[in-house]
Amino acid sequence: MIETNQIQELKKNGILKIKNFLSNEELGKCLEILKYYKAPKNHKNSFFAHDPKQFLIKLIKLEFKKFNQSAYLYSLSKKKKLNDLANNVFNTRSFLRYIDGYHNPISDKYILPWHADQAYVGDEKMTDGFVNPDHYNLKFLVYLTDVESNNGCTSYIPGSNKIAYAIRDGIFKKKINYQPYYFLQDFRKLISNKNNKEYFESYFKDGNEIESFMQKTKFIEEGKDTDEFDFSLKAGDAIVLDEGGIHKGSQTLKSERMMMRFFYSVKK
């Protein structure tokens, strides 16, 4: 069970690490499922059924193996009470948006550079159609292989989730003008924009949130990277993260990476 103080930590920092999230038996079963496909991210085989309609489709198509695998992963989300945790973080009802699991081979390429999910991207002239700032995903990343710095970990800038929310809220309510901010460099430019200074000073009364974030991320302006926000976890451990915060997927220099993901969103 996740304690109240851990929920507060997640809301504050945007990320929470959970040791021994899976038992050895659960870890073995999840590995068996993912090794059957060894699918890359976003491949059709990486997704599993998670609602009645999708389970029905599996049956109609006679995909009994995928049906049973999906049923196990769905039952795992229920057993771990992930929906309850998501409800507590969102402070409202949430739902399981999707379940996936994928494989990353050994590579010297970053899985993803520093970025913020649910960041409004596109033409700078875009003025409407923005997503409600509360409609973001809470992600449960369950590692089925060991991860560490430069070998499969998901790095995260603590507290960046709060700034990301302020940006979404400001754009949605037309208090600041839209500009792309998916990548960290653009995220910093939006914050540093002199036209947005008054808004952020009003939103963050003491100003420490912005100053702290800019100090933590100044490495990117110097054309460097940092391992300050990396971590080491064992197979069966997990992290929960607010996808709006700045994060990256590191290289897999030593070993392949296999992981499960459970995505929760607020009811719309």
Give the pLDDT confidence score for residue 213 in this predicted structure: 96
Fold of 4-266: Jelly Rolls (2.60.120)
Q: In a 3-state reduction of DSSP, which class is residue 74? A: helix
* Residue 131 pLDDT > 90: no
Say if residue 83's pLDDT is above 60.
Answer: yes
- Report phi then psi at 9, rounded to 5: -60, -45
- Which of 248, 172, 245 has its CA nearest to residue 213? 245
- The DSSP line for 166-212 is HHHHHHHTTSS-----SBHHHHHHHHH-GGGHHHHHHHSTTSHHHHH
* pLDDT (0 to 100) of residue 196: 96
Residue 180 predicted with pLDDT over 90:
no
Average pLDDT, stretch 141-162?
A: 96
- What would the pLDDT profile of 66-81 be if each residue is shown by its tens digit? 999 999 999 999 999 9
Q: Does the predicted model carry a pTM greater than 0.85?
A: yes
CA–CA separation, 53 vs 79, rounded Å?
A: 21
DSSP letter, residue 137: E
Answer whether residue 121 shows pLDDT above 80: no
Q: Residue 240 — pLDDT band, cuts 50, 70, 90? A: very high
- pLDDT value at position 207? 74
Alpha helices in 80-146 (DSSP H): 82-90
The lowest-confidence range among 1-10, 54-63, 174-183 is 1-10
For the chain, give percent helix, strand, coil, nearest 5. 40, 20, 40
pLDDT at residue number 133: 86
For the chain, the domains span: 4-266
Provide the mean pLDDT of the chain. 92
State residue 265's pLDDT score.
94
- Residue 257 CB partners (closer than 8 Å, separation 6+): 103, 104, 111, 143, 145, 147, 151, 152
How many other C-beta atoms can be found within 10 angstroms of the C-beta atom of residue 107? 12
pLDDT at 248: 95
pLDDT at 62 over 60: yes
Mean pLDDT to the nearest integer, 194-216: 92
Question: What is the arithmetic mean of pLDDT over 134-138?
Answer: 87
Residues with Cβ < 8 Å from 228, sequence gap 6 or more? 216
Measured CA to CA, the distance from residue 233 to residue 19 in angstroms comes to 8
**Which pLDDT belongs to residue 129?**
59
Please tell me the predicted confidence (pLDDT) of residue 72. 98
How deeply is 23 buried, as exposed, middle or buried, from its count of CB atoms within 10 A (0-12, 13-18, 19+)?
A: exposed
Residue 126 has pLDDT above 70, yes or no: no
pLDDT digits (tens, 9 = 90+) for 91-115: 999 999 999 999 999 999 888 899 9
The counts of H helices and E strands in the chain are 9, 9
Using pLDDT thresholds of 50, 70 and 90, give the confidence band for residue 134.
confident
